[in-house]
């Protein structure tokens, strides 16, 4: 199987430094092959018979000395994420990847938020992704910040990164 692993909270703002060479070594030691990384923010594509976010998190945490949460998607799941983008004409799409479907309490917080007050920013909740269209960027966006506080285990990637990871995983040898 081909996978994409999205590591949360590494190499951001000088915090939790983890070189990509160490990430690749850790994945290979955990049984992955054809391991490749993309930019320093923790994007990994690889091939494995089976993969577990929990096991990869444990291995990376041991390597790094701090907790490294991992969100996994198969190649087919990432392809579906791209196909289901509700903002295909926007250049301002960000995608928050969740390890699982949000809990009812998180969904209640999201439902209670008045997203119309944040236009032109908007979002669409899928099963394990939240798509954002953020014309003014994500940094100080009230909508994105409020929604992401409700799902603190999410990890966000801009749309160019999502597309690049899909290309990279598609080019991997193996099935």
What pTM value is reported for the model?
0.93
Task: Work out the burial of residue 83: count CB atoms within 10 Å of its CB; fewer than 13 is exposed, 13-18 middle, 19 or more buried.
Answer: exposed
Q: What is 112-135 written as a DSSP string? A: HS-GGGGTT-EEEE-SSEEEEE-T
CATH number attached to the domain at 84-157: 3.30.70
Query: At 81, is the pLDDT very low, low, confident or very high (cuts 50, 70, 90)?
Result: very high
Give just the sign of the alpha carbon dihedral 99, 4, 162, 166. Answer: negative
**91-106 tens-digit pLDDT:** 999 999 999 999 898 9
**118-142 tens-digit pLDDT:** 999 999 999 999 999 999 999 889 9
Residue range 3-19: mean pLDDT, rounded: 84
> Which pLDDT belongs to residue 111?
87
Could you tell me which of 12, 107, 28, 126 has the C-alpha nearest to residue 69? 12
Residue range 32-56: mean pLDDT, rounded: 94
What would the two tokens of residue 156 be?
């966000």
**146-169 tens-digit pLDDT:** 999 999 999 999 999 999 999 999
What CATH number matches the domain at 2-78+161-171, 3.30.70.1280, 3.40.1350.10, 3.20.20.70, 3.40.50.1220?
Answer: 3.30.70.1280
Query: At 13, is the pLDDT very low, low, confident or very high (cuts 50, 70, 90)?
Result: low
Question: Which residues have CB under 8 Å from 135's CB, separation 6+?
Answer: 90, 92, 120, 121
Domain with CATH 3.30.70.1280 in the chain: 2-78+161-171
Task: Work out the burial of residue 90: count CB atoms within 10 Å of its CB; fewer than 13 is exposed, 13-18 middle, 19 or more buried.
Answer: middle
Number of Cβ within 10 Å of residue 33's Cβ equals 13
**31-43 tens-digit pLDDT:** 999 999 999 889 9
Cα–Cα separations (whole angstroms), residue 113 to 105, 118, 131, 145: 13, 10, 16, 11
How many angstroms separate the CA atoms of 62 and 57, rounded?
9
């Amino acid at each position: 199987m081909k996978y994409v692993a999205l590591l949360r909270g590494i190499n951001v703002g000088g915090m939790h430094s983890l070189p990509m060479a160490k990430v690749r070594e850790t994945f290979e030691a955990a049984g992955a092959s054809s391991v490749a990384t993309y930019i320093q923010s923790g994007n990994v594509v690889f091939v494995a018979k089976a993969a577990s976010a929990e096991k990869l998190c444990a291995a990376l945490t041991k390597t790094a000395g701090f907790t490294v949460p991992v969100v996994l998607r198969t190649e087919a799941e990432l392809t579906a994420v791209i196909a289901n983008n509700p903002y295909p004409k926007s250049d301002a799409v960000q995608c928050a990847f969740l390890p699982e479907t949000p809990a009812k309490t998180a969904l209640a917080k999201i439902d209670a938020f008045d997203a119309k007050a944040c236009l032109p920013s908007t979002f669409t909740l899928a099963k394990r992704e939240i798509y954002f269209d953020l014309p003014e960027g994500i940094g100080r966006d009230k909508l994105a910040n409020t929604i992401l506080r409700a799902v603190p285990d999410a990890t966000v990637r801009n749309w160019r990164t999502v597309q690049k990871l899909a290309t990279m995983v598609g080019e991997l040898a193996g099935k």
